[in-house]
Amino acid sequence: MTGLKTLVVTMGFLIVVGIALVGYGLTRTKPAFAPSPAGAFAVDVQLRQGDRLAAVTSAGDRIVLHFNGSEGDRLVLLDAHSGQIAGTIALVPGRN
């Protein structure tokens, strides 16, 4: 019976120490959602005559702007970290 009591006390002590170490580890780590050092950015996107912003989505580290216009739809991809235009995609109707 003495051996069982020793085992229970030792396990309780290890649980308390483990919880304390987890708490210490959580306070010492940097959060994954910290803002980037570059901070906010401003970018000017050139619109064509009659363009209208239809949707904004994200894909990985890109921000996708979907424009509807009289000359057709197009997608503008922005780098989410720097705000630089990463590319433009013109959506052309298929020809059958």
Instruction: Read off the tokens for 55.
Output: 């949707």
Query: Could you read off the pLDDT of 46-85 as tens digits, one per residue?
Result: 888 888 999 999 988 899 999 998 888 999 999 988 888 9
Average pLDDT of the chain?
85
- Sign of the alpha-carbon dihedral angle for 53, 55, 60, 61: positive
pTM greater than the 0.75 cutoff? no
Query: Could you read off the pLDDT of 14-41 as tens digits, one per residue?
Result: 999 999 999 888 888 666 555 555 567 7
Per the model's pLDDT, the better-predicted residue between 1 and 20 turns out to be 20
